[in-house]
Amino acid sequence: MPRPPLDIGTYGTIRCYETASGWRATTKFRDYDGKTRPVERHGKTKAAAERNLKKALAERKGPAGDSLTPDTRFKEAVALWFGKFQALADAGKRSPGSVDTYRSIMDRHVLPGLGELRIREMTVARIDAFLGALWRSVSVDTAKTARSVISGALRIAVRDKALDTNPVRETDRLEAGRKKSPRALTLEERLLWLEMLESDPKAVRRDLPDLSRFMMATGVRIGEALAVYWDDVDFEAGTVAVDYTVIRVKEVGLVRKSTKTEAGERTLPLPRWALDMLKKRRASTHYPNGPVFPSSVGGLRDPSNTRRDLRKARGGDEFAWVTSHVFRKTAATILDEAGLSARLAADMLGHSRPSMTQDVYFGRKAVDRRAADALEGAFDKPDQDEPPDAAA
């Protein structure tokens, strides 16, 4: 009966032979293509030759796509995963912003904390402890992103048979604190906000009053608002096409890229007051072929810098809670208060799921009085003189 073959990535008995110049250690190694090959290394002593051979065997790699073993360091699995993610981004299937986010979490947290471990050492308990510490010391969002990186890398390890299952699946859920209720600007607050900005020369110079109006008129994200060019505005139809967003790509700068999903690409009707505002801007712009809200030199404007401008302009405690996303929630809430459906609001905001629009963007706390009216008689006893059917 023939001897069974070595498992892939393993070697047989090491034999050592003395030579004229020292020692030679040799063995047979079953490579990642399934072929068994002789491997040898030399050394001045028998122990040195055997050490050199074991080191060479440990460093031996298979072809791409089947290169991970239980003894591979976790950082190599992370590198493989990130290479695949980068390739998807280069093909336009992932956002460049996501690449930067994952790279940052990977370099600052995942690799320093887990990179030198062997894949077989990536246990549920060890990953749980790492994510828990990250959650407590940094934030739940950072821990969740790190979890995605670790899971993606170990998914490749499972595919390469370096692990039987992905241990990340068994780790504890990362729970955030109590979720804040959505908050939108009321009518009084909207008027006061614009009055405050209009009285601030710096805010006017930075287009903050008109930008606030545009975002409340459309419900777009700040990156989407800054990506709108004059060519996207149809004054005759009274619409604006929202197909792009502005992001900053590392070592590239600001770029205008397509929105996150097909649902994110949309053409929105504009209220009359927003259309009038855009007509005035169009008549006075120095950049008729550029963005509607340009930088000081007429190019794309940085969303992060614009958020900072808004923070500086919002003043003291009264509007300390206002962020660029509040304008988006305000638009959604106005639609809700007007009795429009969640589906229509989702289409306007670029959501594929109306449930997300309802849960995250409707800043509603006061329940319709009709709900209380329906419950008014919950404990009223039927009139004794009424027959049972009438009471029902």
SS (H, E, C) 110-147: HHHHHCCCEHHHCCHHHHHHHHHHHHHHCCHHHHHHHH
CA distances in angstroms from 299 to 97, 119, 255, listed in the order given = 19, 47, 10
pLDDT value at residue 12:
92
Question: Which of 260-274 are b and which e, b meaning 16 or more Cβ less than 10 Å from the residue's Cβ?
Answer: beeebebebebeeeb
* Cβ atoms of 281 and 210 closer than 8 Å: yes
pTM for this entry: 0.57
Question: Which of 44-58 are b and which e, b meaning 16 or more Cβ less than 10 Å from the residue's Cβ?
Answer: eeeeebbebbeeebe
Amino acid at 78: V
Amino acid at 273: W
Spell out the domains of the chain, with CATH numbers in brackets: 15-59 (no CATH), 74-170 (1.10.150.130), 187-361 (1.10.443.10)
Amino acid at 191: L
How many helices, marked H, and strands, marked E, lie in the chain?
A: 17, 8
Residues contacting residue 191 through CB under 8 Å, at least 6 positions apart: none
Mean pLDDT for back-to-back runs of 10 residues, the chain (392 residues): 78 93 93 85 94 87 64 93 87 75 92 95 94 91 94 93 92 73 83 93 95 90 93 91 84 79 68 92 92 93 92 85 87 78 66 50 41 46 54 40
DSSP 317: G
* Cβ atoms of 58 and 71 closer than 8 Å: yes
Q: Which of 317, 365, 4, 30 is nearest to 186 (CA)?
A: 365
Q: To the nearest 10°, the Cα dihedral for 120, 125, 131, 133?
A: -120
Q: Which of 146, 150, 144, 147 is nearest to 176 (CA)?
A: 144
CA–CA dist 220, 241 (Å, integer) = 11
pLDDT value at residue 42:
94
CA–CA dist 228, 343 (Å, integer) = 24
pLDDT value at residue 332:
81
Position of tokens 């109006």?
213
pLDDT value at residue 61:
60
Q: Which of 287, 306, 270, 297 is nearest to 231 (CA)?
A: 287
Q: To the nearest 10°, the Cα dihedral for 322, 325, 327, 329?
A: -110
pLDDT value at residue 382:
60
Position of tokens 């008014």?
376
DSSP letters spanning 214-247 = HHHHH---HHHHHH-BGGGEETTTTEEEE-EEEE
